[in-house]
Amino acid sequence: MRIAVIGSGYVGLVSGACFADFGHTVVCVDLNEQKIAALNNGEIPIFEPGLDQLVAANAAAGRLSFTTELDSAVANANVVFIAVGTPSRRGDGHADLSYVYAAAASIAKAVFGFTVVVTKSTVPVGTGDEVARIMRETNPSAEIVVVSNPEFLREGAAIEDFKRPDRIVIGIEDESAREPMTEVYRPLYLNQAPLMFTGRRTAELIKYAANAFLAMKITFINEVSDLCENTGANVQDVARGIGLDNRIGGKFLNAGPGYGGSCFPKDTLAMMKIGQDYGAPLRLVEATVAINDQRKRAMGRKIITAYGSDVRGKTIGILGLTFKPNTDDMRDAPSIAIIQTLVDAGAIIKAYDPEGMEASKSVISGIQYASSAYDAATGADCLVLVTEWNAFRSLDFAHLKSIMRNPCFVDLRNVYRDKEVEPHGFTYTSIGRPSRAGLEELGSAAAE
């Protein structure tokens, strides 16, 4: 198959490289000349494990190329994927579809012969209808069918997710799209990957419903973690106890500082707006959004409480800035609100992240950047683990004690246990797990 992918951001680049690795001939298109020039020079604009090797191998094999020339790429394609951004629109939280609609009009002008146009960008219900209308209006004689094919890629594991998916959702309104879409995914289909054909609007809603449900699951365990702290229970044991129930499952039950990233924040907001627009308000999603926003700044206050006094003029070392490990994505990362809360309280921030420091400079100002975890800890009054990178999973606490001004460690990802940290002279605070002092207080209260 000859495939054109419009948009060479995260979804477009990963999808294009993986399609090429299936044996298809793929052209990735982007209007950003600097990005395309960099890609043609083998420079990958995002950090995603394994993506640089995948792009290099398929470019060398002649199956993957990059261009700013949309017309020629579309004219030669059997299938065109729209993979442009759909950020939250300022002011109202709706998905900004201007890039999708602009791509649709440009594609319609350039198509030649029967072409399947696939929306891979995350879009609200009914967007495919509008894309089809725009294309008919732009080029009434074009032979185009519009399909919805949402992506379900986890940052940091996107290639694995693409090649070994739980499901492939394809929303069609015209049966003529079924055969070409089956051919696109044929390498996966032969390996028994579940190919699920639905109506186009159903496919669009599946993506939002999936992300909203996972965001609710994260938010639920975060609220349970607060209850655990107040009752002396252990949230990790609670999560395991409920996760072993096959109806619930253990994934997305790790208590932490809240969700972030490119999908959950904007998709929950957009789904909330969709529900309001269609007269079916999603109260659980609305609560999820509100609770998650509040939690991030609450984590900043938790750090101040753990330190035990005013943090004005104190140095706080931050380990991890990205919203999750194995990515350089800073979009809606919990670290942003956490650091702002600490800065507002007068703290001095010294932060380190293996991949996210350059990206963080555009969203976090007025902080210092360290060269390593131990550099971030040097002279610090408190050290906070925000993102659970592997580089932070085996810290030398004896060495940390010797270089920190005050031995205070706050673990917002429950990577460690108190018995691993406190023997080195640290005060240790985690999420949803009782401290020894807390258990003593609960015991005293119960005795009274």
Asked if 235 and 225 count as a contact pair (C-beta separation under 8 A), the reply is yes
Please identify every residue annotated as catalytic: 263
Domain spans, the chain = 2-198, 213-439
Interaxial angle between packed helices 283-307 and 200-231, expressed in degrees from 0 to 180 and rounded to the nearest 10: 40
- Would you identify the CATH topology of the domain 213-439? Rossmann fold (3.40.50)
Question: Residue 248 phi/psi, 5° resolution?
Answer: -105, -55
Q: Which residues contact 245 (CB under 8 A, 6 or more apart)?
A: none
> Structure pTM?
0.91
User: What is the pairing mode between strands 79-82 and 2-6?
Assistant: parallel
Span 6-15, pLDDT tens digits: 999 999 999 9
The pLDDT value recorded for residue 392 is 98
List per-block mean pLDDT (blocks of 10 residues) for the chain, which spans 448 residues: 96 97 97 96 94 97 98 97 91 88 98 97 95 97 97 94 94 97 88 86 97 98 97 97 97 97 93 94 97 97 94 98 96 97 97 97 96 98 98 98 98 97 97 71 51
The pLDDT value recorded for residue 93 is 79
Asked if 25 and 63 count as a contact pair (C-beta separation under 8 A), the reply is yes
Q: Which residues contact 211 (CB under 8 A, 6 or more apart)?
A: 122, 263, 264, 267, 268, 271
Could you count the other beta carbons within 10 Å of the beta carbon of residue 363?
15
CATH class for domain 2-198?
A: alpha beta
What H or E segment, with its residue span, contains residue 64? strand 64-67
Span 259-279, pLDDT tens digits: 999 899 999 999 999 999 999
User: What is the pairing mode between strands 427-429 and 408-411?
Assistant: parallel
Identical fold between 2-198 and 213-439:
yes
The pLDDT value recorded for residue 437 is 55
d(CA 314, CA 441): 28
The DSSP-derived string for 135-174 is HHHH-TT--EEEEE----PPTTSHHHHHHS-S-EEEE-SS
Asked if 288 and 252 count as a contact pair (C-beta separation under 8 A), the reply is no
Six token digits for residue 97: 């579809």
